[in-house]
Structure 1
Amino acid sequence: MTVRIPVPDRLRAAAENPPPAPAEPRDAATIVVVRDGDEGIEAYLMRRQSSMAFAAGMYVFPGGGLSRADVEREVPWVGPDATEWGRRFRCAPDLARGLVVAAVRETFEETGILLAGPDGDTIVSDTSSAEMQAARPALDAGEMAFADFLTDHGLVLRADLVGAWAHWITPAFEPRRYDTRFFVAALPDGQRVGTMSREADHADWVPLSRVLASVDAGEAAMMPPTIAACREVSAHSAATVVAAAADRTFPTILPQLVVVDDELFLETYLGES
């Protein structure tokens, strides 16, 4: 469903005075982590601190930018290989591997949810130990590589537990831009969310039907990529969402700035209605 939405106030100055040359987007990855609840499928959403330079006050999924170590370090791994992920995201295998690593790493840093296990048949059932929780800020600060964290704990990244879902690029006029690939994953049995990320001032599991109603009512703020992902994922269950991703095709979406009757709009995609 392609729509035109008024340019938000926070972006109006940038939209009215775009830079002569667009900023280069930074590669990033995010995971829609879901579970089944009493009101249907739920996702873990975090509200970004109002002081954040990008998407302040917005509800987002766990995620962030790639680090050099995500691409350069050899990460213990089972599941679809880098070539397959490159095919899914239409990018080079090395970048694709880094995107998967960044998605899993950032999700662990920000939530304590870890999509890894001792081998390809098992998964960590509890990440609440003091040692594992202490690794989260160390990873976030770049003091530890995710490859070293996994090796030290005798774990392998479970690339078979995530699915490729969407690809969005920040509009050209924004000063901070990201080239973001969206993944989906189900909360592993036995795992619980740990302490809240320092980048967030609120976080919780929320039924997607309820959060979409809150967005429509103006009670919660989300960027178009998050809205689109919530709408599309809401058609599935936690048990089927990764399998649904395996058969999914999606375009690269770059919202466009348009002028209609002297008013600025973003022409963008908001998910299947």
Structure 2
Amino acid sequence: MSSGSRPKREVAEPRPSASILLISPSNEILLLHRVRTSSSFPSAHVFPGGNLSASQDGEIPGPKDAERHRDGLAYRMGAIRECFEESGILLAKKNSDSSSLLEIEESERERARKEIHAGKLKFGEWVKESGGVVDIDGLIPFTRWITPTNLPKRFTTQMYIYFLPLAQTGPTKNIASKSVIPVPTSDGGVEHTAALFAPCKIWLEQASRNEIILFPPQFYLIHLLSPFLSPSLSSSSSPSTNELQDQRDKVREFLQGDGGDGKGVKWGEKVMSPIGILMGRDGRSVLGLEKPGPELKESGRGGDEKRVVLVRFGREGPRDLEVKERAEVLEEEREEAKL
């Protein structure tokens, strides 16, 4: 190596993690407010989730295993375990055929949250001893995100959607549930200071006004769900059980498509590693979402070629986020360049 050359920077191996877009009985979405001192997403609002644990979640595919970047049992267990640790909501059923969630007395639930987080209690064993079954089948894959190589801490994160049972509000009992959903609570300030359900539209509006911090993946995914789960503007009353179920059915129908990018990759298989494709004239970075990252370069998988995320990165975190059509943004930049 010559004296004038720089050593090649080593690219960090992405750590396996999983998160859940948890949808309430009224079709609101849960976000947790992370503590300011967090090493990941400080002060941001995030979905419940975190790193996988081999001791808790089962065997994790190795770095060279193709399954490391696919939905699997360890990712599902990790997502549900982290959701329980962080929010107190346990995604477990009374038995495999039940439509109702397992109910745990509050003091026992809080004890288990702390001991599972501390590694003193095995999550899966505790659920079984409590008379339940972890509802891994209730998770719906909804994109994977691999941190770009320019960052020192990288993750390969499997995102899921989970619909909590609809409330018993009317005669349509075949789609309703008597499950009691605990009010989400923070973990006491260990990683989060608040846990709250709110409509997708409200979260997006707060982020757009820079009242809260949402990172591009969270903003983008909420943006995709918002047209289906936002309250109707034509009605002042609460939606009926049938209307809520219809919203959920439309989400499921959407997930069977490819987002209109013509590649045919369904949302559960899309992999995105956001990369800046240009700096807009308004000072915002334009992030492309079509590439899956170097780990999956030859896999044939990819992300969203139709949309981009516009964001202004600052000392406080991402600001002024917006999701737009890629072709529209590129055309606007070409027109601006002519002026």
The equivalent residue for 2:21 is 32
Aligned to 1:267: 287
User: What's the RMSD between the two structures over aligned residues?
Assistant: 2.8
**1:227-254 deviations in Å (ceiling 9; x for gaps):** 1111112233464267447625132100
Bigger CA drift: 117-126 or 159-168? 117-126
Deviation of residue 69 (structure 1)?
2.4
Partner of 1:202: 194
Matched residue type, 1:115: L
Distance 1:191 1:159 in 2: 18
Higher relative contact order, chain-length normalized (CA < 8 Å, sep 6+): 1
Give the match's secondary structure for 1:236: helix
What is the CA-CA distance between 1:124 and the residue it aligns to?
2.7
Tell me the residue number matched to 1:124.
Answer: 101
| Rounded Cα–Cα distance in structure 2 between residues aligned with 1:67 and 1:199 | 17
What is aligned with 1:77? none
- Give how far 1:132 is off: 2.4
Which among 272, 295, 309 is matched to residue 253 of structure 1? 272
Summarize the alignment of residues 144-159 of structure 1 with structure 2, pairs less than 5 Å apart.
144-159=121-136
**C-alpha contact 1:27 1:178 (8 A) present in aligned 2:** yes
Q: Which residue, 169, 172, 181 being the options, matches 2:149? A: 172
- Unaligned regions of 5+ residues in structure 1, if any? 1-18, 74-89
* TM-score, scaled to structure 2: 0.62
In the TM superposition, what whole-angstrom CA distance separates every residue of 1:162-202 from its partner, at most 9, and x where no partner exists? 21111111121112111101101122431113431221123
CA contact (8 A) 1:257 1:264 kept: no
Shift of 1:203: 2.4
Q: Return the alpha-carbon distance in structure 2 between the equivalents of residues 36 and 22 of structure 1.
A: 42
Which structure 2 residue ranges, 5 or more long, are not aligned? Answer: 1-7, 60-65, 166-178, 230-243, 258-265, 289-307, 310-322, 326-339
Shift of 1:25: 0.9
Residue type at the aligned position of 1:232? L
Q: 1:156 to 1:126 in 2, by over 3 A?
A: closer
Structure 2 residue identity aligned to 1:223: F
State the Cα distance separating 1:72 from its structure 2 match. Answer: 2.8
1:261 positional shift: 8.7
Partners of 1:223 and 1:98 in 2: how far apart? 25
Give the match for residue 292 of structure 2: none
Aligned residues: 236
Shift of 1:133: 2.1
- Is 1:141 paired with 2:118? yes
Aligned-pair CA distance for 1:20? 0.9
Rounded to whole Å, the distance in 2 between the matches of 1:105 and 1:259 is 39
- How is 1:182-261 mapped onto 2 (pairs within 5 angstroms)? 182-188=159-165, 189-197=179-187, 198-237=190-229, 239=245, 240=248, 243-244=252-253, 247=256, 249-250=266-267, 251-258=270-277, 260=279
Q: Which has the higher strand share?
A: 1
Kept in 1, the 8 Å contact 2:201–2:226? The answer is: yes
